[in-house]
Structure 1
Amino acid sequence: MGFRLPRVVDAKNLLQMSLSNASQAASKGADIPKGYLAVYVGDDQTEMKRFVIPISYLYQPSFQELLSRAEEEFGFNHPMGALTIPCSVDAFIDLISCLI
């Protein structure tokens, strides 16, 4: 008897695609695909990671909580030039895996 965790596998694949999209965008200067947005995630500004996520995540209550924390910490002036979310990368990955 085994357990299958399709959400975790899907989240891992999505994040790998997000990271590869981010590196391609940075290397080619390409735009973010339609229907996605770039966010920077991390507790420390020197260790921020860029993720490209679907816009549909913005409507999820758990993601809106992160957006509220970002607003409290940064207001509308984000130091990275894009939406910056002040949480650990591991916590963000856990959240994304629940949204898939």
Structure 2
Amino acid sequence: MGVFRMHWMIANLKQMMKMHKKNQRDVPKGHLAVYVGETQKKRFVVPLSYLDQPLFQDLLRRSEEEYGFYHPMGGLTIPCHEETFVYLSAQLHVL
């Protein structure tokens, strides 16, 4: 995947964030709410700095493949197990 496509994905993510700003009032500036889980979705608030990390970018690619621009929870939905996301978030927090 090229740099252009990643910039395009991030731009679309920012646009989606603006559209759902009403539902994100409890999200601190510089953060993003995401929904994670295979069946039951759990909401996580992550820093925007994750967008620069290859591990998180891989999750964004999976999200795009699974949902396109339709996210059933009204926000960015990431199709992975909650435990996996917690583990990856811990890895990103250390970086």
What is the TM-score normalised by the length of structure 1? 0.67
Tell me the distance in 2 between the aligned counterparts of 1:57 and 1:51. Answer: 13
* Number of matched pairs: 71
The answer to which structure, 1 or 2, has the higher relative contact order (CA under 8 A, 6+ apart) is 1
- Equivalent pairs: percent with the same residue? 59
CA apart distance, 1:57: 0.5
Tell me the distance in 1 between the aligned counterparts of 2:47 and 2:38. Answer: 22
Taking only aligned residues, the RMSD between alpha carbons, in angstroms, comes to: 1.5
- Unpaired stretches in structure 1, ≥5 consecutive residues: 1-25
**Largest Rg, 1 or 2:** 1
In structure 1, give the amino acid aligned to 2:28: P
In the alignment, which residue of structure 2 is the partner of 1:61? 54
Tell me the distance in 1 between the aligned counterparts of 2:47 and 2:75. Answer: 15
Runs of 4+ in 1 over 3 A off after TM superposition: none
Tell me the distance in 2 between the aligned counterparts of 1:79 and 1:49. Answer: 13
What is the TM-score normalised by the length of structure 2? 0.71
CA apart distance, 1:64: 0.3
Question: Equivalent of 1:80, from 54, 70, 73?
Answer: 73
